[in-house]
Amino acid sequence: MLFIYILAAIVAIFIVLVAFAPKKYNVHRSVTIRKARPELFQYLKLMRNQDHWSPWMKRDPEMQQTFTGEDGNVGFMTQWESDHKQVGHGEQEIVKLEENRRIESALRFLKPWKSESSGYFDLEDADGGTKVTWGFYGTNKPPMNVMMLFYNMDKAVGKDFEEGLAELKRVLEN
């Protein structure tokens, strides 16, 4: 009987955790780059340019990539495969372009775990250049949302965005 009470308590705790654990995430970072917004938009919408500043390409320069469609247009897709645990396998597809303002992409991660997110670049005028905000957002479905109680997505991925934006700034301003 004690076993049943313990099991019931564990199930009840898990149900409460699923109910209250965060379900949505939005991680983003920003930097101001001394370039005009139209120039930055033209550079960022070309996904192949990410190879010049991406923190994940830096982690695995031998990453295998394939491309489908016309770069810089809705529907263009890049797929990658890497044995590096922080890079994994996945694909990114341009899903929306708002000229000189926003680029949206669908991110589908296949390994080391499956998940889907939406990525974006927002561009806005700033003193001396353009403020670039790079981020991604999505939903953690139960019961996977319980893991977010123990994993700080903002801290983990935010560092990658900071590193990537710093390199993007260096590449474009030099």
Q: What's the CATH number where 76 sits?
A: 3.30.530.20
Q: What pTM does this model have?
A: 0.84
For residue 163, the one-letter residue type is: E
Q: What is the DSSP letter of 36?
A: -
Say which residue, 75 or 143, is predicted with more confidence: 75
How many distinct structural domains can be found in the chain?
1
* Residue entry with tokens 């296949």: 110
The mean pLDDT of 145-165, rounded to a whole number, is 81
Contact between 105 and 88 under an 8 Å Cβ cutoff? The reply is no
Report the alpha-carbon distance of residue 22 to residue 12 in Å, rounded.
18
Domain encompassing residue 36: 2-173
The pLDDT-based confidence of 165 (bands split at 50, 70, 90) is very high
Edge-first strand listing for the sheet containing 129-139: 24-33, 129-139, 115-126, 102-111, 89-98, 77-81, 64-68
**What value does the mean pLDDT take over residues 130-142?**
89
Question: Is residue 162 over pLDDT 70?
Answer: yes
pLDDT for 117 beyond 80: yes
| Upstream peptide bond of 112 is cis (omega within 30 degrees of 0) | yes
Mean local confidence (pLDDT), 40-44: 98
